[in-house]
Chains A and B, each alone.
Chain A
Amino acid sequence: MSLLGLEDRQWIFLATVVFVVTAALGTYTALKLHRKARRPYTLVLVSFGWILQTIGLYARGLEYGGCPLSNQFELVQFMVWSAIALYIFVGPAFRVSFLGMFTSTFASVFSILSLTIQSWDSPSRTPIFGDSPWIETHAALALFSYGVFGILALTSVMYLLQSRSLKQKNMGGLFPYMPSIFELTQINFRLLTIGFLILSASLAIGAVYWSHEIDSVDLPKLGTTIVVWFAYGVLLLLRFRQTLSYKQYSWACISVFAAALLSLEAVDQPKAKESLLPDSAPPARSP
């Protein structure tokens, strides 16, 4: 749908450009100019990109009067939107320097992927989660938790980079601009807890809906969702009991997030669409 003279995908394309510029500027400033891009500049740029993305998603949502969660393109965009929102609104409390640069890189990569792979923006115009506001809340919360887990994967990467630099005594590159490994372990724990609680709340809402309409949920979707929730739950328990080393824990956070992303495929699986799609669905869109 067109809003303010631009199509929804065009707004999202512009947002992606802003995310790419932010990531490129942050990297250039650190590696070439040996300076850290100041947080206000990064925040303004990322927020600008986020506003453009919000307009794009809003335009998409207007088309079918609900949350734009009807195909993989929209699921990925909503997850990126959630991660950026978390950085903008909760990020300052984390006090993790350079998180803006990593978040914009994350947003750039997933946004470019979702814009490039045409099949992700399949011709579904009916939300795959149905039209109940509760099930929409369930879906939005689940994807928001994926945004949190995305940030967790980023801070895990930051931990591994910092720890490796300290071990190898390599003080160049991004090392001087990133936070201490202790701060990163603390923030990782908080992100895992927040993400797990949000995902649990989402599943609780989904379970209530499911118990009323037991046929509405496909087994692969239910299975993968429970596996992702269980995996993060186990990680949280292991982290709490200090069973894993921080290095193992960081790798686990990255791996589980990668697996969680793959589970989006199951969420957007054909059976669900077939049951919900009207007969005359519009064709896939191009930017």
Chain B
Amino acid sequence: MSTHHGELLLITINHETVSLEERERYSLDDEQIKVLYEALHRSPVIEESLILNTCNRFELYSKTSDPKSGEAIAFETLGSFYNIKREEVESHARIRFGQEAIKHLIEVSAGLRSQITGEAEIFGQVKEAYATCQQLGYSGRLINRMVQKGFQAAKLIRHSTPIGEGQINISNVAVDLSLKIFGSLKNTSALVIGTGEIGGKTAKALKSRGASKFGVASHHSERANEIADEWGGNPHTLAELETYLNDYDIIISSTETDSPLLDARSLEKHMDARKNRPLFLIDLGLPRNMDASCQEIENVYLYNLDDLAKIAEDNLSERRAAIKHSEEIAAQKSASIWQTLESRGLVNFQ
């Protein structure tokens, strides 16, 4: 990168450059961000800046009036702010200039640089960081143009490639499958068998997508009552499963059991009463809680831990396959944004 592009500088410290322990040191709260902005802008060389601070990355985008000293001043300020030697900060960071910095912003906003490829949360975090920067008055024409155009490019990537498609964690895969069966979860009821973490997470994910009626079943009624109070829902004991089975459309099971809780024979008895209502069985237990024969019954859809993990893995592979194309779009768009910045006289002063 030629040095005359140094008026747009990016310093990034993220999961690709340092370990979690190191990244923790760079984590900031809202008040600290404000203080860091003030520290950076004490130098007249830093004209505009944007700080992005998430659990996985610290990034500083700056417009400097003197490319040569701007980088040194930024590192000096960060070192003294974090109380770390400047050389150490430099060793944790990667630096990008000009068009490469814009490309990086686009890739970060689109989720290409996230630890979980394609995750969507980062876009909101960048937006929030930009809103704070604007509110505090540290953005100018260059940062504004770069971020706004960068957002458009990130949206284009997310809409024109499968980078954010398909769920990649087991709970969300289960929720997606529920939606493919029931359409909306508003009128569906879910039963959580067992009180393990993964079952709880899945129930929470279903709740967040609209499921409102829940039941909790456990071997012991005290435990069922306790968890039902905590998560919300009706408590049940597992021994009476057959009496309340038909009240539910989704059954998430992750309990310890010597023999399957349900099999084709026990389910068949209930299917007439269900009147064609589908039953989605999510077996997260090891050993398995549901006999594989359940799958043979019409309108019953059985997915175990391996099935869900495989779908998540396939979705992740699809996302990874989309990275190359997404990077090409980011390169193309960053070149075009840089050209616009040049034509407007916002960069390339010699």
Contact of A182 among B165, B166, B182 (CB under 8 A): B182
Contact B303 A179 (CB under 8 A): no
Distance of A229 Cα from B62 Cα, bound (Å): 74
Return the CB mask of B273-298 against A: 1 if under 8 Å, else 0. Answer: 00110100000000000000001001
CA of A166 to CA of B302, assembled, Å: 9
Nearest Cβ distance between residue B185 and chain A, in whole angstroms?
10
Report the separation of the CA atoms of residues A248 and B299 in the bound assembly, to the nearest whole angstrom. Answer: 12
- Report the bound CA distance from A183 to B185 in whole Å: 12
Q: Is B245 in contact with chain A by the CB < 8 A criterion? A: no
Asked if A162 is at the interface of the complex by the 8 Å CB criterion, the answer is: yes
Q: Check B181–A180 contact: CB distance below 8 A.
A: yes
CB-contact partner of A245 in B166, B295, B298, under 8 A: B298
Query: Which of A171, A181, A247 meets B314, CB within 8 Å?
Result: A171
Contact residues in A for B278 (Cβ distance below 8 Å): 181-182
Is A246 a contact of B276 with CB atoms below 8 Å? Answer: yes
| Set of chain A residues within 8 Å of B275, measured between Cβ atoms | 242
Give residues of chain B (146-188) contacting chain A, Cβ–Cβ below 8 Å.
160, 162, 165-166, 177, 179-183
Q: Is the CB of B299 within 8 A of A176?
A: no
Alpha-carbon distance A166/B318, docked complex (angstroms): 19
Chain B residues in 8 Å Cβ range of A179: 183
Give the chain A neighbours of B160 by CB distance below 8 A: 35
A166 to B165, Cβ gap below 8 A? no
**Binary per-residue interface labels of chain A (203-242) against chain B in the complex, 1 for a CB within 8 Å, 0 otherwise:** 0000000000000000000000000000000000000001
Q: Taking the nearest CB of chain A, how far is it from the CB of B274, in angstroms?
A: 9
Interface residues on chain B, size class: 20 to 34
In contact, B299 and A246 (Cβ under 8 angstroms): yes
Given A180-B179, A180-B182: A245 and B314 interface contact (C-beta under 8 Å): no
**Is B123 part of the contact surface with A, judged by Cβ < 8 Å?**
no
Q: Which of B179, B299, B314, B318 meets A34, CB within 8 Å?
A: B318
Is A183 a contact partner of B183 (Cβ separation < 8 A)? yes
Closest chain B residue to A183, Cβ basis: B183
**How far is B179's CA from A181's CA once the two chains are assembled, in angstroms?**
9
Chain B positions within 8 Å of A181 at CB level:
180-181, 278
Instruction: Give the Cβ gap from A119 to chain B, nearest Cβ, in Å.
Output: 42
CA distance A41 to B299 in the complex (A): 34
- The total of chain A residues at the interface (CB under 8 A) is 19
Name the one of A35, A169, A175, A246 contacting B303, with C-beta atoms under 8 angstroms.
A169
Chain A residues with Cβ under 8 A from B307's Cβ? 169
Using a CB-CB cutoff of 8 Å, which residues 298-324 of chain B contact chain A?
298-299, 301, 303, 307, 310-311, 314, 318
Distance in angstroms from B290 CB to nearest chain A CB is: 14
- B88 to chain A minimum Cβ distance, whole angstroms, is 44
- Write the nearest CB–CB distance from B27 to chain A, whole angstroms: 36
Task: Please classify the interface of chain A as helix (H, G, I), strand (E, B), loop, or mixed, using the class held by over half of its residues.
Answer: helix
Q: Is the CB of B166 within 8 A of A176?
A: yes
Tell me whether B311 and A180 are in contact (CB under 8 A): no
Specify which chain B residues have a CB less than 8 angstroms from the CB of A242 in the assembled complex.
275-276
B276 & A245 in contact (Cβ 8 Å cutoff): yes
A174-191: CB near B (< 8 Å → 1, else 0) gives 011001111101000000
- Residue numbers in A under 8 Å from B183 (CB-CB): 179-180, 182-183
CB-based contact B162/A34 at 8 Å: yes
How far is B314's CA from A181's CA once the two chains are assembled, in angstroms?
22
- Min Cβ gap B229→A in Å is 31
Chain A residue with Cβ nearest B321: A34
**Using Cβ atoms and an 8 Å threshold, which residues of chain A touch B182?**
180, 182
Residues of B within 8 A of A171 (CB): 166, 311, 314
Which residue of A has the minimal Cβ distance to B162? A34
CA distance A162 to B160 in the complex (A): 25
Interface centre among B180, B278, B299, B303 (most CB of A within 10 A): B180
Distance in angstroms from B161 CB to nearest chain A CB is 8
- Tell me, rounded to whole Å, the shortest Cβ–Cβ distance linking A160 to chain B: 12
In the complex, the answer to whether B181 meets A176 with C-beta atoms within 8 Å is no
- B contact residues around A245 at 8 Å (CB): 276, 298-299
Alpha-carbon gap, A245 to B276, bound state (A): 6
Beyond A183-B183, A245-B298, whether A176 also contacts B165 by CB under 8 A is yes
Chain A residue with Cβ nearest B306: A169
What's the Cα separation between A179 and B184 when bound, in Å? Answer: 11
Contact with B along A149-172 (1 / 0, CB 8 A): 000000000000010001101010
Taking CB atoms, residues of chain A closer than 8 Å to B314 are 171
Residues of B within 8 A of A35 (CB): 160, 162
Choose among B295, B299, B303 the residue with the greatest number of A CB atoms under 10 Å from its CB: B299
Interface residues of B (CB under 8 A from A): 160, 162, 165-166, 177, 179-183, 275-276, 278, 295, 298-299, 301, 303, 307, 310-311, 314, 318
15 A-B residue contacts at CB 8 Å? A34-B162, A34-B165, A34-B318, A166-B177, A166-B181, A169-B307, A169-B311, A176-B166, A180-B183, A181-B278, A182-B183, A182-B278, A183-B183, A242-B275, A246-B299
Which A residues are within 8 Å of any B CB, using their own CB? 34-35, 162, 166-167, 169, 171, 175-176, 179-183, 185, 242, 245-247
